[in-house]
Copies of this chain bind each other. A is one copy, B any other.
Amino acid sequence: MAWIDVTYHVRAHAADIESVAAALALEQSVEVPADVVRDRWVRDHVMGRVDRIDPIGADSFSVSIRLALATTGLDAAQTINMLFGNSSLHEHVDLVDASFPPEFGAGYPGPRHGIDGIRRSSGVQGRPLTCAALKPQGLPVERLAALAHTFALGGIDVIKDDHGLADQSYSPFAARVAACRRALERAERETGRPCLYAPSLVGSPRALEKQARIARDEGAQMVLVAPALIGLPAFQELVSEVLDVPVLAHPSYAGAARVAPAFLLGTLFRLLGADAVIFPNAGGRFAYDAHTCAAIADRCRRPWSGRRPVLPVPAGGMSVERAAQIVHSYGDDTMLLVGGSLLSAGEEHLPARTRAFVEAVAGASASRSARAVAPAA
Q: Does A285 contact B (CB under 8 A)?
A: yes
Copies held by the complex: 2
Tell me if A89 and B233 are in contact (CB < 8 A). no
**Residues of chain B within 8 A of A162, CB atoms compared:** 31
Chain B residue numbers with a CB within 8 Å of A255 are 84, 87-90, 256, 258
SS class, residues of chain A in contact with chain B: loop
Is A232 on the interface with B (CB-CB < 8 A)?
A: yes
Cβ-based interface call for A71 (8 A)? yes
Closest residue to A28 on the B side, CB-wise? B164
**A86-B252, A170-B46, A252-B86 given as contacts; is B136 within 8 A of A37 (CB)?**
yes
Let me know if A80 is at the binding interface, CB within 8 A: yes
Q: Are B75 and A344 in contact (CB under 8 A)?
A: no
Q: A166-B78, A230-B234 are in contact. Are A32 and B339 (CB under 8 A)?
A: yes
Query: Is A122 engaged at the interface, CB distance under 8 Å to the other chain?
Result: no
Neighbouring B residues of A45 by C-beta, 8 Å: 138
B30, B39, B205, B340: the one within 8 Å of A233 (CB) = B205
State the 5 A-B residue pairs at the shortest beta-carbon distance, nearest first. A231-B231, A88-B255, A46-B138, A42-B138, A30-B136
Interface residues of chain A, those whose CB is within 8 Å of chain B, are: 23, 27, 29-33, 35-39, 41-42, 45-47, 70-73, 75-78, 80-82, 84-92, 135-139, 143, 162-164, 166-170, 202-207, 226, 229-234, 236-237, 241, 251-258, 280, 285-288, 339-340, 343-344, 347
